[in-house]
């Protein structure tokens, strides 16, 4: 007997949810409203004597054994609805042409039908050489998704890595959400041991704390994507969905926790100071200057979701023009800090100001007093 969640009606519900997941961020403002990513509190130090030529600047870097032309990843977004095919197709083209990494959206839907699997695998078709990251939810792992299914998910896009997303806030606000996280860490450890590609654990916009990062490192994960607060808010997306479903209590929760989470720069700093595994910075990054700031703070790579989605939904030209803009902003930041390479950028000096400086000082004070 098929699992209840394999019924055709259930596939239709998943498709609709995936469609909402693209349309709401594109049509409504679901960005953070009362917090920022805190990167405005990071100042890079100007170098008046850079001693490099702009054209000689090398933005290439290595992450998890793969060479990238720049430390940039198109963060995990979509699949599982016909509307995603065009988006993933264009994002795949971008990743291939520009040497960026790319994450797919949660692929549980792709396990249910081969038609839906194609909404993801189009990315690999268009990006035969790019670093692609498969995606699955922590809540699904806790619920019993098998290692075999995880392998199928990797195989679906011939992925170079698999990301497990932790989205407790979204599960809490989502009208049909499953806020059940008991046993997730054990499942992640099992996955890290059994699956043939590196496991990346990511948030989706509320950030990773130092305590969580340490537990993840001990569980054997290969990298962490902090995906902090300050950008797309999944509490906001689910609040709007709850409103349409006339679910007052969920809509109220989404409103209350719209800006919940650890701002990206704060999350990045505390994770970078606590673990040795590489870090991807994400959550509200909107420019090449912000990418540069994240590298200086200790990230190996920087990722953006919504900015790529918006341009990919407009046109291929708009998407590629955006990539050119962020690359030129990144290179300019490197020139102005006298950094000829990503390694040099990583070791350049920064100054923390405002709320971020205060949070860091408070946290350090707390650690010393223990």
In the complex, the smallest distance separating the C-beta of residue 218 from ligand FMN, rounded to whole angstroms, is 22
Nearer to ligand FMN, 304 or 336 (CB): 304
Nearer to ligand FMN, 293 or 348 (CB): 293
In the complex, the smallest distance separating the C-beta of residue 141 from ligand FMN, rounded to whole angstroms, is 13
Give me the residues that bind ligand FMN (CB under 6 A), please.
21-22, 25, 75-78, 105-106, 135, 163, 165, 202, 204-205, 227, 231-232, 282-285, 304-306, 309
Q: DSSP secondary structure string, 102-120? A: EEPPP-HHHHH-HHHHHHH
In the complex, the smallest distance separating the C-beta of residue 20 from ligand FMN, rounded to whole angstroms, is 10
Report helix, strand or coil for 3. Answer: coil
Q: How far apart are CA 97 and CA 80, in angstroms?
A: 24
Q: Which residue's beta carbon is nearest to the bound ligand FMN?
A: 231
* Contact in structure between 227 and 212 (CB atoms under 8 Å): no
In the complex, the smallest distance separating the C-beta of residue 71 from ligand FMN, rounded to whole angstroms, is 15
CA proximity to 326, closest of 307, 312, 340:
307
In the complex, the smallest distance separating the C-beta of residue 367 from ligand FMN, rounded to whole angstroms, is 28
In the complex, the smallest distance separating the C-beta of residue 328 from ligand FMN, rounded to whole angstroms, is 19
Q: How far apart are CA 201 and CA 188, in angstroms?
A: 9
Nearer to ligand FMN, 83 or 190 (CB): 83
H-only helix segments in the chain: 8-27, 82-98, 108-112, 114-126, 138-143, 147-156, 168-173, 184-194, 210-218, 234-244, 248-256, 264-272, 288-297, 306-314, 316-336, 342-346, 354-368
Nearer to ligand FMN, 76 or 337 (CB): 76
Report helix, strand or coil for 260. Answer: coil
Nearer to ligand FMN, 16 or 362 (CB): 16
Nearer to ligand FMN, 15 or 202 (CB): 202
* Contact in structure between 182 and 206 (CB atoms under 8 Å): no
Report helix, strand or coil for 251. Answer: helix
In the complex, the smallest distance separating the C-beta of residue 81 from ligand FMN, rounded to whole angstroms, is 11
Q: DSSP secondary structure string, 84-147? A: HHHHHHHHHHHHHHHT-EEEPPP-HHHHH-HHHHHHHHHHHHH-SSS-EEEEEEHHHHHHT--H
Nearer to ligand FMN, 79 or 99 (CB): 79
Contacts of residue 324, defined as CB under 8 A and 6 or more positions apart, other chains included, come to none
Nearer to ligand FMN, 153 or 336 (CB): 153
The dihedral built from the CA positions of residue 144, 145, 147 and 149, taken in this order, carries a sign that is: positive
In the complex, the smallest distance separating the C-beta of residue 153 from ligand FMN, rounded to whole angstroms, is 12
* Contact in structure between 124 and 158 (CB atoms under 8 Å): yes
In the complex, the smallest distance separating the C-beta of residue 135 from ligand FMN, rounded to whole angstroms, is 5
Nearer to ligand FMN, 22 or 219 (CB): 22
Q: How far apart are CA 307 and CA 303, in angstroms?
A: 10
Q: How far apart are CA 40 and CA 36, in angstroms?
A: 8
């Amino acid at each position: 007997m098929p699992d209840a969640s394999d019924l055709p009606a259930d596939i239709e519900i998943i498709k609709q949810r995936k469609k909402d997941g693209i349309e709401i961020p594109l049509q409504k403002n679901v960005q953070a409203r009362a917090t920022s990513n805190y990167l405005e509190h990071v100042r890079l130090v100007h170098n008046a004597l850079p001693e490099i030529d702009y054209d000689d600047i090398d933005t290439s870097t290595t992450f998890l054994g793969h060479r990238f032309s720049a430390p940039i990843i198109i963060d995990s977004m979509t699949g599982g609805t016909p509307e995603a095919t065009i988006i993933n197709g264009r994002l795949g083209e971008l990743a291939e042409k520009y040497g960026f990494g790319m994450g797919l959206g949660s692929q549980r839907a792709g396990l249910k039908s081969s038609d839906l699997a194609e909404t993801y695998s189009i990315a690999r078709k268009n990006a035969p050489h790019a670093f692609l990251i498969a995606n699955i939810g922590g809540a699904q792992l806790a619920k019993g998704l098998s290692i075999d299914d995880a392998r199928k998910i990797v195989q679906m896009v011939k992925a170079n890595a698999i990301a497990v997303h932790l989205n407790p806030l979204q599960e809490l606000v989502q009208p049909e959400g499953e806020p059940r996280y008991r046993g997730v860490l054990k499942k992640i450890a099992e996955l890290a041991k059994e699956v043939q590609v590196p496991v990346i654990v990511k948030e989706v916009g509320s950030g990773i704390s130092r305590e969580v990062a340490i537990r993840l490192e001990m569980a054997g994960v290969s990298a962490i994507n902090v995906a902090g607060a300050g950008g797309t808010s999944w509490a906001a997306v689910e609040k709007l969905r709850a409103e349409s479903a006339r679910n007052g209590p969920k809509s109220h929760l989404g409103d209350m926790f719209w800006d919940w989470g650890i701002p990206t720069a704060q999350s990045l700093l505390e994770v970078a100071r606590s673990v040795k595994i590489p870090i991807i910075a994400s959550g509200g990054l909107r420019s090449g200057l912000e990418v540069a700031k994240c590298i200086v703070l200790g990230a190996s790579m920087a990722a953006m979701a919504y900015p790529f989605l918006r341009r990919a939904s407009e046109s291929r030209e708009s998407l590629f023009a955006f990539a050119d803009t962020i690359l030129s902003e990144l290179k300019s930041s490197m020139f102005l800090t006298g950094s000829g390479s990503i390694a040099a950028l990583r070791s350049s000096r920064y100054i923390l100001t405002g709320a971020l400086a205060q949070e860091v000082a408070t946290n350090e004070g707390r650690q010393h007093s223990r």
